[in-house]
Amino acid sequence: MWTLEISREALKDTGKVERSHYAETVKRILAILTQNPFQNPPPYKKLEPPTANFYSRRINDQHRITYTVHKEEKVVKIVRMWTHYE
């Protein structure tokens, strides 16, 4: 099991997630991240610099969950849970 840490920015995003019809999708993705942040499918994307060591998974066409993985500590830090293409 991996531990999830939620950033302050991601916590702010939770209200938007809860008001959307994507709340279950986000919960499913977070559950996958606690099991294996590198599980494929569903696909994930390693982001290019300047965000090296950042990954993202689609919520929908517009929004993504962005996170970092700390392998030694088995921690996944959720950076954002909503905004991406706005």
Other CB atoms closer than 10 Å to residue 6's CB: what's the count?
16
Q: Which domains can be identified in the chain, with CATH numbers?
A: 3-80 (3.30.2310.20)
For residue 45, what are the contacts with CB-CB under 8 A and spacing of at least 6? 55, 56, 57
pLDDT tens profile 44-74 = 999 888 767 899 999 998 999 999 999 999 9
Give φ, ψ of 32 to 5 degrees.
Answer: -60, -45
Q: Quote the Cα angle for 36-78-11, to 5°.
A: 140
Helices and strands (DSSP H and E) totals, the chain: 2, 5
| pTM score, whole prediction | 0.90
